[in-house]
Amino acid sequence: AAQRQAEYTKNLGVIIENGEPFLTENIDLYLDDALFDSLRIGESLKGRATTDISISGSGVGLTQQEALVDAQENMKRLQTVLITGSLPVKLHIEKTDNISPTLGNEFIRNTLIVGFISMVLVIGVIMLRYRRFIVSIPVAITLMSEVIILLGAAALIGWNIDLIAIAAIIIAIGTGVDSQLVIIDELSGKHPGQSIGVGWREKIKNAFFIVMASYFTLVVAMIPLMFAGAGLLKGFAITTILGVSIGVFITRPAFAVIAEHLLKNRDEQ
């Protein structure tokens, strides 16, 4: 990288700005296809292959203190992006290794085992709470459906699933289970303060009022994260919003219909 920098800068001209010599071209940093920052190159770096580089800059403000705070914020913002490697760079392949297919199969097997154990634990907790196996099964089916739909949507739009996205998926699944329990409590009449003799339509309406309130609260909380930290949490925010949106508008209504049907049959029996 240092040698390439020397090759690119050796033929650039030099200009003087505010008494300081700089090269005629800047280093433009792009993040998410948008210009993130533009850095001037000092004359001392012209044609030099060096890795000992410092970045300096100034801040803007009405007072000296405001300018200092602005400079520190810009420094931390740029530092975060550079440390995490979020800026797209061209890679030069130094070595290529092949991973054994058996190792890949082991990864898949371990993932499925962990997912199955998590599903069993969720069903177990729900069974302890409601003492009904017939309630736990629809929750598990809905849970798996949400994951499949979310992964399918990510594949459709070409979204790469990284560790941050996986954390967002876990949050979406957690809110999904919570919403399903709210629906069950409302339909079974276990919600505190619920009037006796409330119809099924009114119960579903009350349940979805709580679900939608939780949904909009979460979405509003995620929107600032899309722009925080120079967009470093954008993937987390988008995946979370996509996951909870799929749950609220697709799987929650389906689960409500299933739960209503099951609980109606139970009451009739």
- For 168-178, write each residue's pLDDT tens digit: 888 888 888 88
pLDDT: is 31 or 253 the higher one?
Answer: 253
**174-205: pLDDT as tens digits:** 888 888 888 888 877 665 555 455 677 888 88
CATH assignment of 132-268, among 1.20.1640.10, 1.10.357.20, 1.20.1250.30, 1.10.1030.10:
1.20.1640.10
Residue 134 has pLDDT above 80, yes or no: no
Q: Centre a 10 Å sphere on the Cβ of residue 203 and count the other Cβ atoms it contains.
A: 22
Confidence of residue 263 (pLDDT cuts 50, 70, 90): confident
Task: Give the residue extent of every domain in the chain.
Answer: 1-56, 58-91, 132-268
Q: Nearest-5° angle of CA 127, CA 132, CA 134?
A: 110
Confidence of residue 91 (pLDDT cuts 50, 70, 90): very low
Percent of the chain with pLDDT over 70: 71
Long-range contacts of 114-123 (CB under 8 A, 24+ apart): 119/143, 119/144, 122/177
Distance CA 254, CA 256 (A): 5
pLDDT (0 to 100) of residue 216: 93
Q: Which tokens hold the place of 73?
A: 């914020």
pTM flag (> 0.85)? no
Q: Centre a 10 Å sphere on the Cβ of residue 238 and count the other Cβ atoms it contains.
A: 18
pLDDT (0 to 100) of residue 99: 56
pLDDT (0 to 100) of residue 161: 67
Residue 108 has pLDDT above 70, yes or no: no
**Cα–Cα distances in angstroms (integers) from residue 68 to residues 29, 39, 79, in the given order:** 23, 19, 16
Confidence of residue 48 (pLDDT cuts 50, 70, 90): confident
Residue 120, CB-side half-sphere exposure with 13 Å CA sphere: 6
pLDDT (0 to 100) of residue 31: 67
Residue in this structure with the two tokens 């009037």, named with its chain if needed: 195
- What's the rounded mean pLDDT across residues 86-98? 52
**Cα–Cα distances in angstroms (integers) from residue 209 to residues 49, 182, 186, 205, 250, in the given order:** 63, 10, 11, 6, 16
Q: In whole numbers, what is the pLDDT of the chain averaged over residues? A: 75
Residue 141 has pLDDT above 70, yes or no: yes
Q: Which tokens hold the place of 151?
A: 């992964």
pLDDT: is 163 or 212 the higher one?
Answer: 212
Q: For residue 44, give the DSSP letter.
A: G
- What's the rounded mean pLDDT across residues 143-171? 79
